[in-house]
Amino acid sequence: MKDAHPLEKTVGMELYATDCAGIGGRLKTRYEDFLVEEITTDNEILSFKEWSNRPLGAPTLEGKKTKYVSFTVQKMGLSTMDVSTIIASALRLPRNLVSYAGLKDKRAVTVQRMTAPIRAANGLGTLDLSNVEIRDIKPSRQLVQIGDLSGNRFTILLRDLDVSLDKALEVAEEVQSSQLLNYFGIQRFGIARPNTHIAGKHLVKRDFEGMIRSILCMPGEYENQELLDARAELAESLTPTEKIIDVFPKDLHYERTVMDELMKHPGEFKRAVTRIPSRILTLMVHAYQSYLFNRLLSTRVKSGMSHVIPELGDFLIALDETHSGRDSWLFVTETTLEERRQQVIDMKYTLALPSPGYATHLPPTKQSEMMKEILTAEGITFKDFRNPQMRSIDAPGGLHRTSIALSDWEASIQDEGLLVKFILRKGSYATVVLRELMKNHPINRI
């Protein structure tokens, strides 16, 4: 396997699964070049529809006595969290009452399902939002929650290729026929400033000063000199001023919130951290768990072990099920090895590795030793992920698939670029597939 891009190596993505040369190119030159259509747990594909540019109108739900209403959201140029917040604000609801199954790309056109309290139904149909359309408003007995999806269908156009169109199709065929490494993609960590996992590590260690330093002082490759100077000044004493805060762009609102709090209460780092929304703190811890998983997967493959076929001491999980690490899994023993391998070949189960947390327990195996060596080098234990005093960073861990098998793959030439269509199960990322095609700087994939 080929070595990955140096930036990807810093977040544990050390290898490519394919040996072919990359086609280069750019992703998301236009929002319309990246289409994501969610697939529900009932295997319904929430298909893109041409923009109507007008509100749907209040739905007719008389006689439907349920607690919730579900609806389809088609958005462009906004993150899922952005849209959830916008809808909640427009309906005068707490943000957490507008829920969704998965986070979708911001620089894209995406379609996904959301839910809200039933009292929001009439208001939903009359919302007139920029780059957001709401349709299919229906009563629902249950909230849609994270993980309540089967997968996503992608339609992606890559432009400005470094190779001929014929060569691009040839590379696409090789990628399609390969079992790819199911890394957590670099978007989870940040491309311009990959520090989300670093902040997460400090949170796990209860090092709140270190966490604040990681988000305020770590420089970004593409930042202007004024911001770099402000970060350097902060690094000396973590004492923000109004002048420093004004230098930070408005979209860095969590950093600005922390600095506002430190101005009021100097040195009270934990207090400042708790001003960050809990869902953001959770994402930081999850990013660190993802980094540890990526390192473990890379270590395994570099040792010569397969990322597809199970070995003695491995875990298997059923495809298309959510796994917390404390529920259903199969363990591979000498007596079950051949049976377990056949279950993987039959695509009933798949190989999985720990995304570590306080509930992770490892049997005495070679794979477990790899995980322990990584944690020792990091200065981390499983118990560090236990924090009942701050539920947002209390992380049990789980099991995550090691490979990606592409389905419904199509590759063709369009507008002098490569158009690819494919379906991924939940827990896999399109940008991880595209890195195998492109093999260039990750900045081309944001």
- DSSP per position, 75-114: EESS-HHHHHHHHHHHTT--GGGSEESS---SSSEEEEEE
Residues whose CB falls within 8 Å of the CB of residue 250, separated by 6 or more in sequence, listed in order: 256
Angle at 409 between CA 157 and CA 181, to 5 degrees: 90
In this prediction, residue 221 has a pLDDT band, given cuts at 50, 70 and 90, of confident
Amino acid at 249: P
Read off the CATH number of the domain in which 375 is found. Answer: 3.30.2350.20
**pLDDT over 70 at 164, yes or no:** yes
Q: What total of structural domains would you count in the chain? A: 4
Residues 86 and 123 in one domain: yes
pLDDT in tens, 253-269: 999 999 999 999 999 99
Q: Residue 174: inside a domain, yes or no?
A: yes
What 8-state DSSP symbol labels residue 158? Answer: E
Q: Residue 311: inside a domain, yes or no?
A: yes
Count the residues in the chain: 446
Q: Residue 187: inside a domain, yes or no?
A: no
Maximal C-alpha separation, the chain = 67
Residues 302 and 371 in one domain: yes
283 vs 31: CA distance, rounded Å: 24
Q: 257 burial class (0-12, 13-18, 19+ CB within 10 angstroms)?
A: middle
Structural domain that includes position 267? 196-276
pLDDT in tens, 363-389: 999 999 999 999 999 999 999 999 999
Average pLDDT on 389-394 reads 92
Residues 24 and 160 in one domain: yes
Which domain-ending residue is among 227, 243, 276?
Answer: 276
Residues 395 and 314 in one domain: yes
Residues 348 and 431 in one domain: no
Residues 267 and 352 in one domain: no
Token duo for residue 174: 């090789």
Residues 237 and 266 in one domain: yes
Token duo for residue 200: 């997460």
Q: What is the pLDDT of residue 1?
A: 81
Amino acid at 245: I
CB 434 within 8 Å of CB 36: no
**pLDDT over 80 at 326, yes or no:** no
Candidate from 50-54, 67-71, 297-301 with smallest mean pLDDT: 50-54
Residues 416 and 388 in one domain: no
Residues 83 and 173 in one domain: no
Q: Residue 189: inside a domain, yes or no?
A: no
Q: Residue 191: inside a domain, yes or no?
A: no
Which domain-ending residue is among 106, 140, 174?
Answer: 140
Beta strands in 223-274 (DSSP E): none
Q: Residue 190: inside a domain, yes or no?
A: no
Whether the model pTM is above 0.85: yes
Pairing state between β 109-117 and 99-100 = antiparallel
What 8-state DSSP symbol labels residue 129? Answer: B
Read off the CATH number of the domain in which 216 is found. Answer: 1.10.1510.30
Q: Residue 37: inside a domain, yes or no?
A: no
In this prediction, residue 37 has a pLDDT band, given cuts at 50, 70 and 90, of very high
Beta strands in 193-301 (DSSP E): none
Residue 400 DSSP SS3: strand
Q: 44 burial class (0-12, 13-18, 19+ CB within 10 angstroms)?
A: exposed
Q: How far from 84 is each of 35, 99, 109, 124, 128, CA to CA, in Å?
A: 19, 7, 16, 12, 14
Residues 134 and 85 in one domain: yes
Residues 169 and 103 in one domain: no
205 vs 208: CA distance, rounded Å: 8
Residues 293 and 355 in one domain: yes
Neighbours of 372 (CB within 10 A): 13
